[in-house]
A and B are shown apart, each in its own frame.
Chain A
């Protein structure tokens, strides 16, 4: 039997002004998994930690990060946090104008039975590579996703945010 359509683009935006925060809201629950791809362009030299949160909630988050700086490897974690840390050590560019790639996977995001897990990869050639895993201890379906930088207006003009839905059947 031929497979149905999967991996569909849900929404996309390319920034026309620098910003600190981006939100996808009113996310349909009809997919199985979500993939958020951010083509990050640096507006500053901050290479900030990015804060990932869902449905406007500021509780119930934890995560572990594994990173390489180009000369050292390390790991860190957060518990009972107000957000999931993305690019906590490295992974967004520090050189203004440089680009980096952020890929965030949200499996089974719309179910109302289990807690929500996140797998993320963050890469920038001038700071390093990081793999992040996160947990949101909520059984709510994810209907909005916010990502913001811990410092101001780090996402440069031309940064692109795209949300894809993956359907299992």
Chain B
């Protein structure tokens, strides 16, 4: 039986920081994709977006988010939590985006689990349901900080392919 859950590509941000992280030329040979992201931001923004094939439209979603004292649900495009520069130093957030059938002709569903714990008064745990209403195969993925922010050094992203046969 085939082994699956294969690392396709990885990236780590260098000393100059990164305006965004982009995986290109994604092969169509897997069934599902899993993007694992660990980031810290340069400024006070603490959120980043995931986009596909360089397209910023036809993205939709809903999230459920707790911050340590309250819980709320939002109608918002798929996002992950990032660690802002006001959080405990040397802490980086952790996010999984799971995209099944990324190379098929159905719309692309995105399942998100994201946390930004930093042993302080406020941190976030977020669950997300997303949709990219496109029939195109995903060939590239962009991880983009909110508000024109920047990812700091040692932020990282990993792209895994999962095959169902």
| Complex A–B touching at CB under 8 A | yes
CB distance from B16 to the nearest CB of A (A): 35
User: CA of A127 to CA of B104 in the docked complex: distance in angstroms?
Assistant: 22
CB-defined contacts of B61 to chain A, threshold 8 Å: 125
Tell whether A97 pairs with B107 under 8 Å between CB atoms, given A68-B127, A125-B60: yes
Q: Is B3 an interface residue (CB 8 A)?
A: yes
Q: Is A73 an interface residue (CB 8 A)?
A: yes
Q: Tell me the number of A-to-B contacts counted with CB atoms below 8 Å.
A: 139
Q: Is A162 an interface residue (CB 8 A)?
A: yes
- Please tell me if the beta carbons of A123 and B163 are within 8 angstroms of each other in the complex: no
With CB as the reference atom, state the residue of chain A lying closest to B106. Answer: A99
User: CA of A164 to CA of B32 in the docked complex: distance in angstroms?
Assistant: 12
Could you give, for residues 82-125 of chain A, a 1 whenever the CB lies within 8 Å of some chain B CB and a 0 otherwise?
A: 00000000110100011111010000000000000000011111
Q: Is B71 an interface residue (CB 8 A)?
A: yes
Total interface residues on B, using CB and 8 Å? Answer: 41
A-to-B contact residues, CB < 8 Å: 5-10, 12, 37, 39-41, 66-73, 90-91, 93, 97-101, 103, 121-131, 158, 160, 162, 164
Enumerate 28 A-B pairs (CB-CB under 8 Å) in ascending A order.
A5-B1, A6-B5, A7-B5, A8-B1, A9-B1, A12-B31, A12-B165, A39-B106, A40-B109, A68-B65, A69-B62, A70-B73, A73-B73, A90-B62, A90-B129, A98-B131, A99-B101, A99-B106, A99-B107, A99-B109, A99-B131, A101-B109, A123-B129, A124-B129, A128-B73, A131-B127, A160-B101, A162-B31
